[in-house]
Structures are given as C-alpha cells and as structure tokens.
Structure 1
Amino acid sequence: MTRGQFIALEGGEGVGKSTQTRLLADALRARGIDVVVTREPGGTPGAEVIRGLLLGLDGEGWHPRAEALLFAAARADHVERLIRPALSRGQWVICDRFVDSSRAYQGGGGGLSDADIADLHRIGSEGLLPDLTLLLQVPPAVAEARLSLRDTGGSDRIGGRDAAYHARVAQAFARIAEAEPARFARIDAAGSPEQAHAAVLSALSSLLSSGLSRS
C-alpha cells in the first residue's frame, strides 16, 4: 500500500490554522482522499492529558525545558499511536501544529536551542517530519484583532504570554521556513479564509497530483 501524506499547519496565534485545517480536510475528502485530522499537543488519549497540563490556566506554568519535554512526550505518543499507523494505511494526516511549533515556541520564544529540540524529537518521534508544512502568516495587528474576537473567555497558558514572546515566536517560524524551503510553503493568511484556502491548495498541487495519479 502507498504511504499517505503528512501535512502540518503551523503559525502563531490567530493565523487561522483551525479554519484552514477544516477547509483542507473537506477539500481532500471531496477528492476521494482518506483523511485523518489531528492536533498538537494532543491527538491521542495520553497526549490529550499532557495538553491539559501544558495549556491549563491554573498555576505558574512550566520552565521552558520542562515544557519542551512535555511536548516531546505528547508528540512521541501521537506519532507512535496515530500518525505513523495512519500513514502506513495510506491515509493523509493533517496536523494542527507539529515539531516546528516546539522549535518556534520553546526555541524562539523560550530560548532553548534548536539542536536540543531536534534531539528530543529524534529520541521521542524518530525524527519524523511532515511531507509539507504550511506556515500561515498574518501581520500582528490582524492576529490581535482575531484573538480579541476568539478568546473572549481568556487565552490558554501559552497563548496568553506577552507580545514580545509572540514576536520571537513569529520570527522563529520565519527563520525556520527560510532555512528549509523544500519542506515549507508560506501562506498569506491575512485575507479571507477562502483566499488562504486557495493558496493552501495551490501549495499542495504537486502532492495532490502525485497522490491522485497513484490512486
């Protein structure tokens, strides 16, 4: 059986990852592709428990090293129990965040080295990377406006960090995408969801062509 494709959507707070994940899954299913939609942290029962520890609003939070270890542990379970089996079955996996979020948040935002995060990923998830990573980007003012509408009940522990932290995260995402252009497609998500979705499908055109030709 042909292995499925692994697509990750990345970006900072308020860029529209959840909306684009849903639109992409619907578009792929309309093409007859078997799709698994998942998220990080989370995706499996064990990883969802860790998600609660990481993002809950109570308490002072985690030191960046502890935070990175928890993310790596959740990802290891996610990869082993959900992502690799789905890919082996020929399904396409669409994941809302993956290892590049750790590189941007715990690395760029929290100050850990990219090498240390890569080591955790190599040990925990055997270095698995998406076939394509879609980096959604919007100007800070657009993200802030969207978050003010979305997070009326308060942000999670990481989303609620200060503007300087999130600026470092955005800069880290941009550096990572620039350094690995073969794996990344940068999507201007500042316009309507439909405009961003069209850009996502355009970025996926070669994978779609190859996948459909094998089916």
Structure 2
Amino acid sequence: MLSETERRFREDLLEWGEENLREYPWREPDRTLYEVFVAEFFLTQTPAENVAAVYPGFLERFPTLDEIAETSEDELVEAIEPLGFQNMRAEALKQIASTHDHLPTEPESLIELPRVGRYVANATLCFARGDRLPVLDRNVGRVYNRVLRDAWPETEADKLTFTKRLVPDDAQAYNLSLLDFGALVCQTEPLCEQCFANEGTV
C-alpha cells in the first residue's frame, strides 16, 4: 500500500515522463532481450550519448550472442574501445557468450553473469519484457531521497524493497521516467524550478 505522498509522486512522475522522455536507439519498440542487455551493459559508468554512438554499429557487427562467441576478444575490444573499460567489457561478454546460447530471463540468473549487477539485470528485464522490477542506481536514489525525504530507507536492502513497492504495472514507463527525471531535472545540482515536487504536488 502506497502513502498519499508516494502515490502522488508516482502519478506526477508518469505524467512528466509522457512529455519528457529521451530517445535512444535501445528504447525503440520490439528490442530483443539481447539488444537491451547490450545497451544496459554498456551504460554502466558511461554517458548515454557515448553508448548511442557505438550501439548501432556494435549490434550490426554482433547481432546475437553467437557472433560474440565466434569472434576474438581482440575484435570485441576494438568495437568497444570508444566506451572505455574495453578489456573488462570484452572479457565479460566473451565469457557470457561462451557459456550461454541465450540470456537468462530471471533476474537472479542474470546477476550471476560476469560484470552484471542488480541494476543491469533489472533494467534489462524491465525494458525488454516489461517485468515489474525496480531500477536503482545512485541517480534514482538521489531522486527518492530528495522527493520522498524521510520515507527513504538507509540500508541497501530496504531501499530495494522500497523501490520495488513503488513500481506500477507499467514498469517500463515508470522506470524510464525515473531515470530521465534524475538525469534532466534532479541532477547533482538540481533544477528545482523545473521539478513537479517543487510545485506543492508531492
């Protein structure tokens, strides 16, 4: 059960998202689980604009895990180099492709893959399949902490439980709105004059 403040936050956030979501190639409709996974894997510690510049070419060159399994690690490094962390990323992708014909469809199984954490697993399954899973990173935590204030828990386990409770059935729209609100408005230096929560609605 949501509090009135939480319910209004969720409604206002979804309304904000209807007008303000950013467009990226991995957000196009009908992206496969693999295609979304590649994007989320690359987006870790890398600006979205940098990933957008590499993403289409990478998928053209490696459209499935099979192609990654069959290529050399040096070729993967070359393809990923503009993003940084290329050796680590290439090694992890090679390991995944060498042991899996298809990506797991359960978050706990995805998390067990090399260099895949809770955020990448949940984001992949939410944005590719619509699974009702929370996406929680530092930016999302900043939004919740500022807008919901005292309700935001202190421990990581409680934060995950808290965020899962707020995710509605339309998890994709909610999580995309949450990510973009944190990136565009509730930044490290927040644009409070643009925040719906600063208008007395939350």
User: TM-score, with normalisation over the residues of structure 2?
Assistant: 0.28
Structure with greater helix share of residues: 2
Higher relative contact order (CA 8 A, sep 6+): 1
Indicate the structure with greater strand content: 1
TM-score normalised to structure 1 length: 0.26
